[in-house]
Structure 1
Amino acid sequence: MLDNKKINILKTIEKYNSISKASERLYTAQPNLSRALKQIEDELGFKVFERSKSPLYLTKEGKILFEYIEKFEELEIEMKEKINKSNNLKNCYIRIGALTFMSQYIIPNIVPKLMDLYPNLELSLTKYDSTSFEDALIKNEIDLFITNRNIDNSKLNSIHSLNDKIYLMIPKAIYCKGKDKLEDYSNETFFLLKPQKNLRKSVEDIFKVTNFYPQKVKLTSSIMDSVSFVRANKGVTFIYGSSIRMINSTSYCNFIEINGNYATINVIYKDLSFKPIAENLSNIIKNYISKLYITLR
């Protein structure tokens, strides 16, 4: 029977598709993690990961294992939801923070579902930028925060909801069928957010991995400013997949999916007493955004 520690090891390796990267995230030496993985596989009686190639990937048995891990986690969440409902959560008050763009397009759609789980819950919503929310959590100014980047702060806890896709947004007047690489649009103006913004950080990761750097860049203050310029045929920009339906631009633009995981939606909290609500909120976000991706296909 796998305990939470062993499951966390497997999920971290699967997330990063690399034992070396997972060992950094788990703050352990790579040989120690390799031994731990072998012990888990010996206990299970089958290999979870195929390690003959890089990046490593799940074996057929590993895929089945992860399907059941997810099912068990969903059952655990369902159990906690029923317990929370039975407790009736009288006079429960929670302060949720989120990035401005998520506050406009994601939060309004998930808060009602959270209220369904906690009928007596009172909450407040506050916008924060990507540079200030960690201090707000540490100083107890807010209880939960929803972000689309991983954090590395030993004082805070994080629950991963899902990986968000990133797309290159191109006006139909500029888009060329069959051209689906960044370098195909190297002559266009790229509208990018300021460096401290989360989406810009993810875009810089994309540039680094693809070894592509646009020659013409103009900075904007918000995602919607970038979207407005693109809709006016002034150039191209990047957008989160979770936001495509909200910006009402599918009839004006084409979207090219960027391969790789560059954005991950997480629920962050400090006080462990908020963990059950954070887990439920994370599950709501996962279900909501997953359905958005289905409708985009």
Structure 2
Amino acid sequence: MINLELYRVFYVTALEKSFSKAAIKLFITQPSVSHAIKQLEEKLELQLFIRTSKGVSVTKEGETLFKYIEQAFTFIDSAERKISEIKNLNRGEVTIGGSDSTCKHYLLPHIKTFQECFPDIQIKLQHGSTPSIIEKLTSGIIDFGIVHLPVDHKQIQVTEFLNINSTFVVGEKYKELTKNENTLEELLKYPIISFSEKSSSRKFLNLLFQKQGLNVKPDIEVGSVDLLIECAKIGMGVAFVTKELVTKELKNCLLFEIKLNEKIEKRKIGLVTKKELPLSIAANQFFQHLLTK
């Protein structure tokens, strides 16, 4: 293997057609340039330059070498420029994982303000439940994820992001439930609408009832917040939802909140990253943007 610096000296000398000018450009002495060229010629067993009254000229063999070396250093220069652009956030890419609801309600507003500041950073989204987001993170498909907590995984670092409130809502059909306080046991007399068994929301719902010694088996399982809301609005049952996601429906009396005789503890949404794996400059910038907004 030949030292890349020897080729750099050759490249600059061929461009400048002068050992002295090459020395100035490379910030080394002229003897150092001569020594480097001599080393390269000995390694290649070829003469690369011919001394002239005006400096030096490249031999035919040197011209052949220069055509390839020129391409190599052009690529190197391009790479350095690209890295500089990434460092200065003039380009870059961030891939984030989350569920439809977390992306829509907690992520998109921040993406909008971030891209106003850094329009050349491309944001990509990967859909999935909390378990699938963790899998995508550990396999390197995404830079970080936004998930419902708790998350317990030895490869995952969790940063708390938001606190959210959970509640039960109904449509006009079951509006009478909103007149008085209800117990969880009383709610079991009505059809329950919830997310699927593997979702974090469903696990939270199950735990809520288990603490009262009750077992909940939803009559309707859905895969999205929008569908859950629509099912409740048309009177299909009692829906367990994140309150912040139905404020519009509650305000417009399309849904009605059920009063419970006990307080439901807040849930947490967190940002998850892979331990011991630093984020890229662009990803870290967006990560910090989320935490400061």
Shorter-normalised TM range: 0.5 to 0.7
Output aligned runs, 1:12-51, within 5 Å: none
Aligned to 1:150: 150
1:98 is aligned with what amino acid? Answer: G
What is the distance in 2 between the residues matched to 1:141 and 1:201?
Answer: 26
Aligned to 1:139: 139
Aligned to 1:281: 290
> Shift of the alpha carbon at 1:128?
1.6
Aligned to 2:100: 100
Structure 1: unaligned runs, 5 residues or longer: 1-86, 285-297
Output aligned runs, 1:236-247, within 5 Å: 236-245=238-247
What is the distance in 1 between the residues matched to 2:222 and 2:136?
Answer: 25
Q: Judge conservation of contact 2:130–2:148 (CA < 8 Å) in 1.
A: no
1:183–1:132 Cα change, 3 Å: same
What is the distance in 2 between the residues matched to 1:159 and 1:229?
Answer: 33
What is the distance in 2 between the residues matched to 1:135 and 1:215?
Answer: 27
Output aligned runs, 1:1-297, within 5 Å: 88-174=88-174, 175-214=177-216, 217-245=219-247, 250-256=252-258, 259-261=263-265, 263-270=267-274, 271-273=277-279, 274-275=283-284, 277-284=286-293
Q: Judge conservation of contact 1:163–1:264 (CA < 8 Å) in 2.
A: yes
> Shift of the alpha carbon at 1:136?
0.8
1:143 is aligned with what amino acid? Answer: D
1:213 is aligned with what amino acid? Answer: N
Q: Judge conservation of contact 2:180–2:259 (CA < 8 Å) in 1.
A: no
Structure 2: unaligned runs, 5 residues or longer: 1-86
1:114 is aligned with what amino acid? Answer: F
> Shift of the alpha carbon at 1:241?
2.1
> Shift of the alpha carbon at 1:119?
4.3
1:204 is aligned with what amino acid? Answer: N
Q: Judge conservation of contact 2:206–2:216 (CA < 8 Å) in 1.
A: no
Comparing 185-194 and 240-249, the one that deviates more: 240-249
1:280–1:104 Cα change, 3 Å: closer
Q: Judge conservation of contact 2:233–2:255 (CA < 8 Å) in 1.
A: yes
Which of these two proteins has the greater Rg computed from alpha carbons?
2
> Shift of the alpha carbon at 1:219?
2.4
Taking structure 2 as the reference length, what is the TM-score of the superposition? 0.60
Taking structure 1 as the reference length, what is the TM-score of the superposition? 0.59
Aligned to 1:7: none
> Shift of the alpha carbon at 1:163?
1.9
1:179–1:194 Cα change, 3 Å: same
What is the distance in 1 between the residues matched to 2:259 and 2:244?
Answer: 12
1:148 is aligned with what amino acid? Answer: H
Q: Judge conservation of contact 1:188–1:216 (CA < 8 Å) in 2.
A: no
> Shift of the alpha carbon at 1:276?
5.3
What is the distance in 1 between the residues matched to 2:155 and 2:217?
Answer: 40
> Shift of the alpha carbon at 1:95?
0.7
Comparing 194-203 and 113-122, the one that deviates more: 113-122
What is the distance in 2 between the residues matched to 1:106 and 1:183?
Answer: 32
> Shift of the alpha carbon at 1:200?
0.5
Percent identity, aligned pairs only?
Answer: 14
Aligned to 2:59: none
What is the distance in 1 between the residues matched to 2:266 and 2:214?
Answer: 15
> Shift of the alpha carbon at 1:111?
1.0
Aligned to 1:61: none
